[in-house]
């Protein structure tokens, strides 16, 4: 955008002019704006309609599920579907603990290991750096489908197939994370580290004492993105887990639905259990998540 020049547009309005104009624009209710707001709100309701229907249905009685016109709010709140989902033989409590354990360990490992590597790529000149980075770049193109079979054979051979390690160990390595953090470390001006070098600090000290604290926002963004990726990951769990007591939330959800094909209330109670925690995290950390998503893809 820097090279878009608009010399013909006349003098650039000063800050105060712009502020005044803003005030003028925002004050008073404009009919066009109200109309568009209503239209966009209508579409927004359509966007969240599946969630509303899901939560409503999870409290309905079986007879109310498919009543038309849709009953958005059930006459009586039936908690029994939720109780059934959470307490069954392999209930969602187990799946939650599994998902939490896998996602947390993977995320912590991935954030640390990728920022370490990213610092190496961004800040240290060493032999073979460029070809190695190119190798990383090329690995981003390899789809997971290529890797499933050989990973399955490897995990079977080293005895971690059908254990949580099959998800945690590979989960600690993210090429995307290396890219994102490298981008950040590249953006830190050299003068900041130069002073530390003159004072005799080595790379490790600069990394831990100077760079990591500086990188807090980027680290938080990576952690959120990585965590939600692990939390929602269904495909790896599907391939590498077999035992029901090891299942993660998405896999447990599918299992529940396969075993209760006509229990629509139970299905929606299970789906609610799978979705609502992420929705809560989102409502609380909304600003950071949106900024993170927007920032990561623009910079990365």
Partner 1 sequence: MGKSWLKRQSLLGYAFIGPNMLGVLLFFILPAVYSFYLMFTDYTFMNPAISFVGFANIERMLGDEQFYTALRNTLIFLLSVPVSILLAFLVAAALNKAVYWKKTLRALYFMPYITSGVAVAFVWMLLFQPTSGPINGFLRSIGIDHPPGWLSATESAMFAIDIIWIWFMLGYNMIIYLAALQEIPEELVEAARIDGARPWAILHRVIWPLVSPTTFLLLVTGLIMSIKTFGIIQAITQGGPGDSTTVLSLFIYQNAFRYYEMGYASAISWALFAIILVFTVLQWIGQKRWVHY
Whether cis (ω within 30° of 0) applies to the bond prior to 69 is yes
HSE-CB of 37 using CA atoms within 13 angstroms = 6
Inter-residue contact 118 to 178 (CB < 8 Å): yes
Residues 258-277, interacting with partner 1 (CB under 8 A): 264, 267-268, 270-271, 274-275
Distance CA 115, CA 14 (A): 41
284 forms part of the interface with partner 1 (CB under 8 A): no
Residues 60-79, interacting with partner 1 (CB under 8 A): 65-66, 68-70
Select the residue interacting with partner 1 from 61, 90, 238, 260 (CB under 8 A).
Answer: 238
Which CB sits closer to partner 1, 23 or 47? 47
Report in angstroms how near the CB of residue 164 gets to partner 1 at its nearest: 15
Report in angstroms how near the CB of residue 286 gets to partner 1 at its nearest: 5
Residues 72-111, interacting with partner 1 (CB under 8 A): none
Report in angstroms how near the CB of residue 195 gets to partner 1 at its nearest: 19
Give the angle subtended at the CA of 101 by the CAs of 57 and 252, to the nearest 5°.
35
Report in angstroms how near the CB of residue 285 gets to partner 1 at its nearest: 10
Inter-residue contact 209 to 201 (CB < 8 Å): yes
209 forms part of the interface with partner 1 (CB under 8 A): no
Of 100-108, 138-146, 193-201, 210-218, the segment contacting partner 1 by CB under 8 A is: 138-146
Inter-residue contact 271 to 81 (CB < 8 Å): no
Of 10-18, 75-83, 188-196, 212-220, the segment contacting partner 1 by CB under 8 A is: 10-18
157 forms part of the interface with partner 1 (CB under 8 A): no
Residue of 174, 131, 147, 172 whose CA lies nearest to 296: 174
Inter-residue contact 274 to 85 (CB < 8 Å): no
Residues 11-50, interacting with partner 1 (CB under 8 A): 12-13, 18, 32-34, 36-37, 39-41, 43-45, 47-48, 50
Residues 162-181, interacting with partner 1 (CB under 8 A): 169-170, 172-173, 175, 178
Select the residue interacting with partner 1 from 219, 231, 247, 266 (CB under 8 A).
Answer: 231
Residues 180-199, interacting with partner 1 (CB under 8 A): none
205 forms part of the interface with partner 1 (CB under 8 A): no
For residue 87, how many other CB atoms are within 10 A of its CB?
10
Residue of 212, 291, 255, 282 whose CA lies nearest to 98: 255
How many amino acids of this chain bind partner 1 (CB under 8 A)?
A: 102
Q: What is the DSSP letter of 163?
A: S
113 forms part of the interface with partner 1 (CB under 8 A): yes
Distance CA 60, CA 81 (A): 9
235 forms part of the interface with partner 1 (CB under 8 A): yes
Q: What is the DSSP letter of 142?
A: S
Inter-residue contact 116 to 224 (CB < 8 Å): no
Select the residue interacting with partner 1 from 61, 78, 163, 232 (CB under 8 A).
Answer: 232
- Rg of the chain over Cα atoms, rounded to whole angstroms, equals 25
């Amino acid at each position: 955008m820097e090279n878009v020049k608009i010399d013909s547009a006349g003098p650039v309005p000063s800050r105060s002019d712009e502020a005044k104009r803003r005030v003028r624009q925002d004050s008073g209710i404009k009919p066009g704006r109200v109309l568009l707001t209503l239209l966009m709100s209508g579409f927004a309701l359509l966007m969240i309609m599946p969630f509303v229907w899901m939560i409503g249905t999870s409290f309905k009685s079986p007879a109310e599920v498919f009543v038309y016109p849709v009953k958005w709010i059930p006459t009586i709140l039936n908690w029994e579907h939720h109780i059934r989902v959470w307490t069954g033989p392999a209930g969602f409590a187990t799946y939650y603990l599994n998902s939490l354990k896998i996602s947390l360990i993977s995320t912590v490992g991935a954030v640390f290991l990728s920022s370490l590597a990213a610092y190496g790529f961004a800040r240290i000149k060493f032999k073979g750096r460029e070809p190695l980075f190119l190798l990383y770049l090329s690995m981003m193109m390899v789809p997971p489908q290529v890797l499933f079979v050989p990973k399955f054979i490897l995990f079977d051979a080293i005895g971690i197939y059908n254990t949580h390690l099959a998800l945690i160990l590979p989960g600690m390595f993210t090429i995307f994370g290396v890219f994102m953090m490298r981008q950040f470390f590249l953006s830190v001006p050299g003068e900041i580290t130069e002073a530390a070098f003159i004072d005799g600090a080595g790379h490790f000290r600069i990394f831990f004492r100077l760079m990591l604290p500086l990188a807090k926002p980027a680290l938080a963004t990576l952690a959120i993105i990585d965590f939600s990726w692990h939390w929602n990951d269904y495909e790896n769990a599907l391939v590498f887990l077999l035992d029901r007591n090891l299942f993660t939330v998405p896999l447990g959800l599918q299992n529940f639905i396969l075993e209760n094909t006509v229990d629509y209330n139970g299905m929606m109670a299970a789906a609610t259990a799978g979705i609502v925690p992420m929705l809560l995290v989102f409502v609380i950390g909304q600003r950071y998540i949106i900024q993170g998503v927007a920032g990561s893809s623009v910079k990365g």
